Structure 1
């Protein structure tokens, strides 16, 4: 299975995963637990598989957030609800969000059950050595409801891919802000959205752009140079290569089948407008590459 398969599968499962950040049912669940504001809910819901992790650990795992952004949420969140309570609330919220968005007939369909089982097989095959968020999600119990199981499986695959991406960035001595600035210069996401959401100030962003310019990766207008484009492409290629193991284990036919089953689910999320156009991961609009 080539590295392009890992990219094609990410494009299909990432929109489904994104429901946890943008579906109103998830925000309602976090508020119901007593979380104060969006960001406390975000960090609690995403970090809960790690257990009651302190801010420093979560900052390290999530890579791109200013430590102060994380420290405003953790460990205070664990005083409102334990990680186990957060995980149960997360499952209930995902159940409600997927049922509303896709409809009761779809979430109860044979196709969603088949997708869930295929995705779960791929997630169990993910190599998690050195991948903390991927490992923590992989270790969670198998949800009984197929659509929730599908969401948990693609979340494991997503965090597995993210762990590998961060390792690639660290290997190239790209810190959090420089990594975001490079992604923004490549036109994949909005720079101001990235900077403000992750709570870095303008000075930190300018310093990161200076670092990239000194490497020869940005031109005088702040755009990617030829060297910068090559570096960006290599980072993405290495990320795809690091994410290939689950699809190699699943095999080409099953992977292609899962891609086919995920496409209408991903398209529904993208067409719903739930995910902002300037989303920080650079989510595509559904013009997908081939999974095989």
Structure 2
């Protein structure tokens, strides 16, 4: 089993996870807790498994946000709702959101229940040493409802992968802004969108461009060079390799079966266009590898 398997699985579970950021049920639930404004809800919903941590911890673990972005939401969010309240509300709202989005017949199907159990097994098998967000999500109790269980399992898997990706970036001495500039230069996401939502100013963005240019990874126009493409491809391969252990643990047959079960769900999300073009993770239909 090679790292391509980890990439193929990410392409299938990431769209399902992303529903938490774009479905109206989650926004309404966050507002109901007093977490008004998109970013207060975003940081609280995603960081809640860590407990009532300060903004500095979230900035560190999320990696690519300016410290002021997290500080605008935390720790104020914990005064409105405890992390445990946020987690419970998140589960309830995701149950409603997935039912509305996929339809009651899909969420009640035997196929979704099977996907939930397979994904949960993979998530429980994920190695979490040095992976704070992955470990925090893995420690949460097993949801009773299969569709909520599926969402929590794929969330654990994506945070596990994200933790590994951050480790790769740190190892390559690629800071938060440089990582965003490089990703934008590949064409995987929109530079202006990344700069704005992550809250980096023009001077910080330009400084990161200078740093990457000095490394020979982008040219004076901000375009990816051959050396930059090679470095990016290697970092993506390292990220995939670091995310492989859950699939090695459950085995090829279970991994292939889960890929087949997740594919129509991921397609439904991508086809709906609920995830904006130029989204931060660079999520597109891409080149879907065969799950046969």
- Tell me the secondary structure at the aligned position of residue 166 of structure 1: helix
The answer on 1:95 being equivalent to 2:95 is: yes
> Does structure 2 conserve the Cα–Cα contact (< 8 Å) formed by 1:181 and 1:208?
yes
Which whole-Å deviations, capped at 9, do the CAs of 1:124-169 have from their partners, x for residues lacking one? 0100000000000000000000000000000000000000000000
For 1:203 and 1:161, the matched residues in 2 are separated by: 30
Aligned-residue CA RMSD (Å): 0.8
The answer on 1:264 being equivalent to 2:268 is: no
- Tell me the secondary structure at the aligned position of residue 220 of structure 1: coil
For 1:72 and 1:119, the matched residues in 2 are separated by: 34
> Does structure 2 conserve the Cα–Cα contact (< 8 Å) formed by 1:9 and 1:291?
no
**Match of residue 131 from structure 2:** 131
Residue 221 of structure 1 and its aligned partner are, at CA, apart by 2.0
**Match of residue 114 from structure 1:** 114
Which whole-Å deviations, capped at 9, do the CAs of 1:100-139 have from their partners, x for residues lacking one? 0111011000000000000000000100000000000000
**Match of residue 73 from structure 1:** 73
- Tell me the secondary structure at the aligned position of residue 18 of structure 1: helix
For 1:169 and 1:121, the matched residues in 2 are separated by: 28
> Does structure 1 conserve the Cα–Cα contact (< 8 Å) formed by 2:112 and 2:146?
yes
Unpaired stretches in structure 2, ≥5 consecutive residues: none
Which whole-Å deviations, capped at 9, do the CAs of 1:174-223 have from their partners, x for residues lacking one? 00000000000001000011000010001111000100000000123211
The answer on 1:224 being equivalent to 2:224 is: yes
For 1:65 and 1:83, the matched residues in 2 are separated by: 21
Provide TM-score, normalisation by structure 1. 0.99
> Does structure 2 conserve the Cα–Cα contact (< 8 Å) formed by 1:5 and 1:291?
no
**Match of residue 84 from structure 1:** 84
For 1:95 and 1:3, the matched residues in 2 are separated by: 32
**Match of residue 283 from structure 2:** 283
Residue 16 of structure 1 and its aligned partner are, at CA, apart by 0.1
For 1:125 and 1:290, the matched residues in 2 are separated by: 24
**Match of residue 156 from structure 1:** 156
**Match of residue 197 from structure 1:** 197
- Tell me the secondary structure at the aligned position of residue 169 of structure 2: helix
**Match of residue 180 from structure 2:** 180
**Match of residue 18 from structure 1:** 18
Residue 284 of structure 1 and its aligned partner are, at CA, apart by 1.6
Structure ranking higher on relative contact order (CA contacts 8 Å, 6+ apart) = 1
Provide TM-score, normalisation by structure 2. 0.99
**Match of residue 169 from structure 2:** 169
**Match of residue 63 from structure 2:** 63
**Match of residue 207 from structure 2:** 207
For 2:286 and 2:101, the matched residues in 1 are separated by: 17
> Does structure 1 conserve the Cα–Cα contact (< 8 Å) formed by 2:260 and 2:291?
no
**Match of residue 38 from structure 2:** 38
- Tell me the secondary structure at the aligned position of residue 219 of structure 2: coil
For 1:219 and 1:39, the matched residues in 2 are separated by: 34
